[in-house]
A and B are shown apart, each in its own frame.
Chain A
Amino acid sequence: MLLAAPLTLLALFFLLPLLTVFGQSFAAPDGPLGTYARVAGDSALRYSLIYTFQTAAIVTLAALVLSYPVAFLISRAQGRWLVIGMVLVLVPFWTSAVIRSYAWLVLLQRRGVVNEIMLALGLIDRPLRLANTDLGTHVAMVQIMLPFMILPLLSAMRGIDPSMLRAAAILGANPWRQFVNVYLPLSTPGVGAGCVLVFISTLGFYITPALLGGSSPMIAVAIEQQVSRLLDWPLASALATVLLVLTCALFMLYERLNRRLAGAGEGR
């Protein structure tokens, strides 16, 4: 009974539209699988898919590398420093991605803040092209994704018993081995959760790549183009379905991997 209302809501506003999209992807004039054939045959669309996964991988990796030390510092902080650290993570997290994307556009455009400062300092003679490049888009996406990486890492790190590192130290592990042999393995649940969260969120990134551009449209941008410019709903639906299926497949792979690791933890 308690579940009836949320289930109805989900069915009406999530499952139903999803099924509609799924159904629509087969509604092409050239036969039920025509749209999928077109996706497979269109090299630009194929590349867009590859580019999307590639971008997600880069963003995930960059976010992980940047977030790990930040999360570590916050996990060790106390009192005022802990509050400052959390505020610095949460305020951007609570700020709309649209606003942050526009902010990046302001920063990175031809006459943007970054270029103006570098010109004023004499570091460059002419403004650099920062917006509409892969680099610019990646930087912006990484920044937007950071909290999704930091928060799971932080939760895993705060769960690590501080006596673990003391034990490692007294048993003869120098700081590097304390990290590699004890701290890193104990923080992997956070690494896994953060990476999955960022990777999957990045796969569906729309507003930031739409504003900042890049060498190829992300798949979400491509879908939007099919709908609003080409009015090709079946093709857009097919692309969305492909993205959804690939995402689900990846997630299941992660779950299986996770369970196998946890299974090893239960004893062999």
Chain B
Amino acid sequence: MNDMSSSQALGTFPDTSRTRGARVEFDRVSKDYGELTVLHETSLTIEAGEFFALIGPSGSGKSTLLGVLAGFVPPSYGAVKVDGTDIVAVPPYRRNIGMVFQNYALFPHMSVAENIGFPLKMRGCGKGEIAERVKKALAMVRLEALGERRPAQLSGGQQQRVALARAAVYDPRLLLMDEPLGALDKNLREEMQDEIKRFQRAFGATVIYVTHDQQEAAFLADRLAVMRGGMLEQIGTPRQLYEMPGTHFVASFLGEASLLPVAEIVERHGREVTVRTQGGLVLRALAPSRVSERRAVCLRPENIAIGASARERDNHFLGVVEEAVFTTGTLRYRVRLPGTDGALTVRVPSHPGIELLPPGASVDIGWDATMAVTIAEE
């Protein structure tokens, strides 16, 4: 593996097939502009061949982290290692990294084929080889017929595919994608998500994918990192992050969550705790190892049972419906529990045999201890 990386210098080409992805290591990387720190000391390892997503709101530092890896943003401190070699001093054009930009950054003065052939031309490939590989790349993204067009003559989705082909045509072992689907409409975005996933499986490169769309990230990535304020908030598989969020921020950034602030921990037993909420409710929940003084119980709307079945749950309360709406496929309630300020969001699958409860109705709601998790409240 290490031999591969050192021979991966500009101008050498492994055969199209079977190049494995690169392993990326951020070692205490930080970036500040004078007084303003945009990236606090961050360490992160991304395994070879992994599809890794960086998510977070704008200004959270995810694009800075990507820029550091691409070589556009020199880090103020720290090392960036690709397969064990520090690349901080290597200029972008010698890093042999593929990148898809948010606005695609296709060269408007070149045809589609010239755009895709550009990285090969820069690597000194011959005309024949370029033509052949461009043809293959065009076939891969199913744009065989459009090689002679200019980027401006293509639709957004087609431009996106050209950008992907251009970033992949030289077989980089590391592919960066900076909000690549941000400019597309919803249907096209979902279609392209499938395509990107299929593409990465076939291609085998390590992909680092920046997005602010949590659904997209969860669908595509093997692992994700949630960033906030220039720091990594939590890293894990999409399921870990959704089901066991560590903080309020992660819980509400990925999907919908209801929080019950905790007043005190009554009892600990193994993975579970019994807590008293600030509203005076006593309930059981999972307690991940992370310790923090201020805590809350986090509940996902689809895990709360409503009606008769709620009575059999570990935690069972009588609430009042505050709001009831039908959204496609689900009935969505806001239910207030006695003594609490806010209301819990409850979502149950909708079908003709179920009645939508009116606001003001009393209702049983309940959930098992393993369906709720205590998190850090900031």
Binding site for B on A (CB under 8 A): 161, 163-164, 166-174, 177-178, 181-182, 185-186, 265-268
Contact A161 B105 (CB under 8 A): yes
Q: In the complex, are the beta carbons of A267 and B107 less than 8 A apart? A: no
Sampled A-B contacts (5; CB under 8 Å):
A164-B107, A167-B99, A167-B105, A169-B93, A174-B91
Which B residue sits closest to A174, measured CB to CB? B93
The reply to whether the CB of B202 lies closer than 8 angstroms to some CB of chain A is no
Docked complex: B118-147 residues within 8 A CB-CB of A: 118-119, 122-123
Which of the residues A164, A166, A178, A267 comes within 8 Å of B148, measured between beta carbons? A267
Nearest Cβ distance between residue A192 and chain B, in whole angstroms? 13
Residues on B with C-beta less than 8 A from A161 are: 103, 105
- Given A169-B92, A267-B149, do A186 and B166 touch, yes or no (CB 8 Å)? no
Given the interface pairs A265-B150, A267-B149, A267-B153, the reply to whether A166 lies near B92 with Cβ below 8 Å is yes
B residues sitting closer than 8 Å to A (CB atoms) are: 10, 70-72, 91-99, 101-103, 105-109, 118-119, 122-123, 148-150, 152-153, 166-167, 170, 176
Instruction: Identify B105's interface contact among A163, A174, A181, CB under 8 A.
Output: A163
Report the 5 A-B pairs with minimum CB-CB distance, sorted nearest first. Answer: A172-B122, A167-B105, A171-B119, A169-B92, A163-B105
Given A163-B103, A171-B170, A174-B93, 6 more A-B residue pairs with CB atoms under 8 Å apart are A161-B105, A167-B105, A170-B72, A171-B122, A173-B93, A186-B107
Give Cα A166 to B98, complex, Å: 12
Report how many A-B pairs have Cβ atoms within 8 Å.
Answer: 76
Of B101, B118, B149, B150, which is within 8 A of A163 by CB?
Answer: B101
Contact A265 B109 (CB under 8 A): yes
Closest to B148 in A: A268
A181 CA / B115 CA spacing, docked (Å): 11
Contacts of B170 in A (CB 8 A): 171-172
Closest to A178 in B: B93
Which of chain A's residues have a CB closer than 8 A to the CB of B167?
171
> Contacts of B72 on A, CB cut-off 8 Å?
166, 169-170
Task: Indicate the member of B70, B91, B109, B170 with the most A CB atoms within 10 Å.
Answer: B109
Distance, CA A164 to CA B123, complexed state (A): 18
A166 to B70, CA, bound (A): 9
Contact of A170 among B95, B108, B149, B153 (CB under 8 A): B95
Cα separation A185 to B148 with both chains bound (whole Å): 18
Is A171 in contact with B166, judged by CB distance below 8 angstroms? yes
CB distance from A36 to the nearest CB of B (A): 44
